Amino acid sequence: MSKLSYKSIWQLAGPNIASNILMVSISFAHLWIVAPFGPEASAAVVTGGRIHFLLMSAAMALSVATTAVVARAWGGENIQEASEATTSSLTLAVLISLGLGAITFIFANQIVGLFGLDPVSSQLAVDYVRPAALLNIFFALALTIFTAFRAIGDVVRPLRFSAIATIFGTLGSYTLVHGSFGLPEMGMSGIPWGTALGQLIVVLWFGVGWLTRRYQLLPTTHAIFDMARLRQLAKIGMPAAMEQVVLQSSLVLFMILVADYGTAAFAAYGIGITILSICIVIGMGFGAAAATLSGQNLGARDPETARANGWMAMKMAIACMSVVALVTFAFKAQLAAMLSIDPDIRRYTEFFIIVLAIVQPLMAIEFAIGSALRGGGETRYPLFVTFIGVVLVRFSVGFIVIMLEGPVEAIYAVIIVDYLVKATLLVLRFRSDSWIKDEEDHAPLSIQSLAGIVRAPVRRYFSRKSNKP
């Protein structure tokens, strides 16, 4: 069982951070690959990547459920339960990715049309989205594999898998876009095909080792279609899936608002998000550590250690992400120049990087505390917080800025308020005892329960003051 110490958290977070850097660097590489083709290609990659990320959100939600169930079973020293949960998670990954991928492929033109791009950018985005929709099954399987190993505390193996997927995915994308080494020149569609190549290699590598029983997690054929276990994963994962849908849909709507300011502002926003995706891997790493320890500690019937580890992960994430924020701010001009040749895109990107530097400590809180809640099986409250932040704050305030004809810089700055609200609500929840519950005890979230969550810390504060001599 993991000890209560900064070292134990870092031992989990460090390899996770490295693994996440490798994964998100693929998006960075995609922008670098198409940058010489002009702003239309950059806008297409931004749009296609965002739609693909929306498609991937279901697999990300499943990973939340996988972490909660596998980590809790592992913490309770029930290896069989952890293995069965992993097998069922792989089944769900296949079913979900196939269903959503087919829908996205069929309606690719209509989905891209929502962004209001120019005809050239729109067609390039469709060329990206359609193969990405069909090939998303490999991402879903790879993410589920990574998640299961992390849930049992094995963070080195996912790091190796991520390195393989990144290297072969980046080389494959570059080769297929340009038609190098005698391969066909596929243009924009070469990016998802190349990325899927790296993920496929990882899935095959894991499959061989898994079926030959080389890992601690073992294949259990009877759990492939175990309806009770599938329902358990769905019960925990559904709020996380809804959270991802709300988050990604709202981000898409927000991008549509930004698109109203023109291609340069839109491309700069997408480039900024790509830069952010690399910066936030630190928060994601600490979040994965917090989720793993939270699930394992609760599985071992030790809620106080689960809470303490969550606070430690938050402090470490804030410290590390603050350093990254300073670095990105210092090199904002160089980063903007690296990812675009257009002067307007560079100018907008530099301002957006300033906004990102401000919000990173707040994002650290969201990643660490939000993940600790989810790792304990509490997935409903983060859904509520995401709705408040991205719908009632980011999109709504952004729409008001548009109506008042404010500058695009004001739209970018709305993100600061979004993360401030979310960080505050998550900390209030984590300070209460209501998130520490039995595996089957997940009461529906209501306005009354939210009011209790907000009031509890206030009551404790005044109670302490009244008790002072």
Q: Which pLDDT score is estimated for 437?
A: 60
- Give a yes or no: residue 466 inside a domain: no
Residue 465 has pLDDT above 60, yes or no: no
pLDDT score for 165: 92
Averaged over 208-236, what is the pLDDT? 84
Q: 3-7, 51-55, 180-184, 195-199 — which one is most confidently predicted on average?
A: 195-199
Q: Would the pLDDT of 451 be above 60?
A: no
Greatest alpha-carbon pair distance for the chain in Å reads: 82
User: What confidence tens digit (pLDDT) does each residue in 283-299 have?
Assistant: 888 988 888 888 888 88
Mean pLDDT for the stretch of residues 357-372: 92
Q: What are 68's two structure tokens?
A: 């909660």
pLDDT digits (tens, 9 = 90+) for 419-441: 999 999 999 999 887 777 644 44
Q: What does the pLDDT read at residue 145?
A: 93
> Does 234 have pLDDT greater than 70?
yes
Mean pLDDT throughout 306-323? Answer: 91
Residue 452 has pLDDT above 60, yes or no: no
Query: Residue 461 domain-assigned?
Result: no
Asked whether residue 467 is assigned to any structural domain, the reply reads no
- The C-alpha atoms of residue 16 and residue 303 are separated, in whole angstroms, by 24
What's the pLDDT band for 248 if we cut at 50, 70, 90? low
How many alpha carbons fall within 13 Å on the CB side of residue 80?
1
Nearest to residue 59, comparing CAs of 3, 140, 131?
A: 140
Per-residue pLDDT for 61 more than 70?
A: yes
Query: Rounded CA gap, 117 and 269, in Å?
Result: 14
pLDDT at 338 over 90: no
Query: Which residue carries 């809180």 as its tokens?
Result: 365
Expressed as residue numbers, the domain containing 42 is 6-455
Q: Which value, in Å, is the radius of gyration of the alpha carbons in the chain? A: 22
Count of domains observed in the chain: 1
DSSP SS3 for 219: coil
Q: Which residues contact 227 (CB under 8 A, 6 or more apart)?
A: none
- Mean pLDDT, residues 191-207: 93
Q: Which of 27-36, 139-148, 249-258 shows the lowest per-residue confidence on average (mean pLDDT)? A: 249-258
Confidence bin at 442 (pLDDT 50/70/90): very low
Segment 326-330 shows an average pLDDT of 90
- 93-115 pLDDT tens trace: 999 899 999 999 999 999 888 87
Residue 439 lies in a domain: yes
Residue 450 pLDDT more than 60? no
Phi and psi at 405, nearest 5°, equal 60, 40
Let me know if residue 29 belongs to a domain.
Answer: yes
CA distances 447 to 269, 356, 430, 453, Å, are 34, 32, 17, 10
Rounded to 5 degrees, what are φ and ψ at 263?
-60, -40
Distance from the first to the final alpha carbon of the chain: 41
- What average pLDDT does the chain have? 82
AA letter at 432: S
